[in-house]
Amino acid sequence: MAKPTVDFWYEFASTYSYPAAFRVEAVAARFGVAVRWRVFALGPLFKAEGLPADSPFNWQAAKGRYMWRDVARLCADLDLAFAPPDPFPQPSLLAARVALLGEDAGWDAAFAKAVFAAEFADGAPIGERGVIAGILTDLGLDADAILEAATSADNKARLRTVTGEAHGLGIFGAPDFVTPDGELFWGNDRMEAAFRWALAHAERVPGGAPGG
């Protein structure tokens, strides 16, 4: 049976996407599923729900206070440094546009984790071109060429298309996990349930290598 691939949908401004990004690979390996990282933009989906463009954690005060405490607890359990970004949410479009290019080239997960760490552990302003350039350079990549391609009209349109795909899947928050049969699981805390679902509903692929 081929290893099922679960899509991990994340948004750089999303607090719960941070611990999810730092545990998804280990948890997937433990379950024996493959993960495809899928960056998207959450703002347009808030708008589609008729919500303010700002984070719900800002315009719902008690929920916001709870979220900061909850994410701090989750990160402590994972031995993951955590400091709330200021301001929150951070502008995430530039990083998302760059991550799309990384999906093609295979450095998206490494880039995404570096951006999340810069944002949620180191307090870096990830909306700034210089911060993203520094992360790309640290990964041994050509920052100038990537940033030029990332901010092209074509690539901006690509992020809109991908975000429309997320909307079509029923996504309204982040992070999410979508199984090969299209089942949606919302939240860092549903990662394991999504992987279990993917394994329980995996189709047998004729000629597929066992566990392959």
Q: Chain centroid to CA 206: how far? A: 32
* In the block, residue with structure tokens 């928050």: 173
CB–CB of 40/67 below 8 Å? no
Of residues 70-99, those binding its own copies (CB under 8 A): 70, 73
The candidate with the shortest Cα–Cα distance to 39, out of 4, 9, 84, is 9
Q: Which is nearer to its own copies, 58 or 152 (CB)?
A: 58
CB–CB of 171/40 below 8 Å? yes
Total number of residues that touch its own copies (CB under 8 A): 27
- Which amino acid is it at 87? P
- CA 35 – CA 32 distance, rounded (Å): 10
Nearest distance from residue 30's CB to its own copies, in Å? 18
Which residue in the set 170, 201, 203, 205 belongs to the binding site for its own copies (CB under 8 A)?
Answer: 170
CB–CB of 94/151 below 8 Å? yes
Mask for 8-47, x = binds its own copies (CB under 8 A): -------------------------------------x--
Answer positive or negative: Cα dihedral of 188, 34, 111, 113.
positive
Q: Which is nearer to its own copies, 107 or 197 (CB)?
A: 197
Nearest distance from residue 53's CB to its own copies, in Å? 15
Of residues 172-201, those binding its own copies (CB under 8 A): 172-173, 184-187, 189-190, 193
Q: Which is nearer to its own copies, 23 or 156 (CB)?
A: 23
Q: Which residues bind its own copies (CB under 8 A)?
A: 45, 48-51, 59-63, 65-66, 69-70, 73, 167, 170-173, 184-187, 189-190, 193
